[in-house]
Amino acid sequence: MGRLVFYHGCMCAGKSTSLLTKFDDYKRRKKKPIIIKPVIDNRDGCFSGWGITKSRVIKFEEPAYYFSDLEKELNGLDFGALFVDEVQFLTRDDVLFLGKIADERDIDVFCYGLKVDVNFRLFDGAAALLALCDEEHEIETLCQIDGCNRKAIAHIRYINGERDMSGKSVAIETGDVTYKSVCRKHWMM
């Protein structure tokens, strides 16, 4: 039976690096893996359909399919293993569909993304995965505040150098947006 596996961590924890490493292993074993991402993720360029994905650490890129309607578009793709990046942007229905793929097609589905937003609320995709997945793994990183060595569990968003307190979950197109992964103490400050 296929597995539905959720890997989560804060920004800069190495989620994409981990995805690409595991993807490469499946590719070398000729298991026909593909990488898919929601179109909202435009860090590697604005793609719809086939594009690329890469990591800040690993200096190579792989083809990735950028979808806007997961169920409709995934049914047209041929694959033997599925790697889903940026799963925080998925809906509950998307996650239920991924579970069906693992169960009905006997295919491993590996999901990578953030667990919480900058307001310390679970993303819908993460909440559904935590409830439905067969396995859940945290990819850890340290707090990015100078001198702190605690585990990062949240994010602070800055827009044009100022901490964003708007309450918005996502701010992809809102000026100069940067993030820091932080521990609970520094998130609450």
Per-position pLDDT tens, the chain of length 189: 899 999 999 999 999 999 999 999 999 999 999 999 998 866 655 666 787 776 666 667 888 988 999 999 999 899 999 999 999 999 999 999 999 999 999 999 999 999 999 999 999 999 999 999 999 999 999 999 999 999 999 999 998 999 988 888 876 666 788 999 999 999 999
Q: Please state which CATH number belongs to domain 4-138.
A: 3.40.50.300
Rounded CA gap, 18 and 36, in Å?
Answer: 15
Q: In the chain, what are the domain boundaries? A: 4-138, 154-188
Determine the pLDDT at residue 177.
Answer: 87
**DSSP symbol at 11:** T
Rounded CA gap, 148 and 140, in Å?
Answer: 14
DSSP E strands, the chain: 4-8, 33-38, 49-54, 61-67, 81-85, 108-113, 135-138, 154-159, 162-163, 177-182
Residue 179: φ, ψ to 5°: -135, 155
Determine the pLDDT at residue 155.
Answer: 94
Determine the pLDDT at residue 24.
Answer: 94
Mark whether 104 is an active-site residue: no
Determine the pLDDT at residue 43.
Answer: 60
Rounded CA gap, 119 and 179, in Å?
Answer: 13
User: Which of 86, 135, 138, 173 is an active site residue?
Assistant: 86
Query: CA 63: distance to chain centroid?
Result: 16
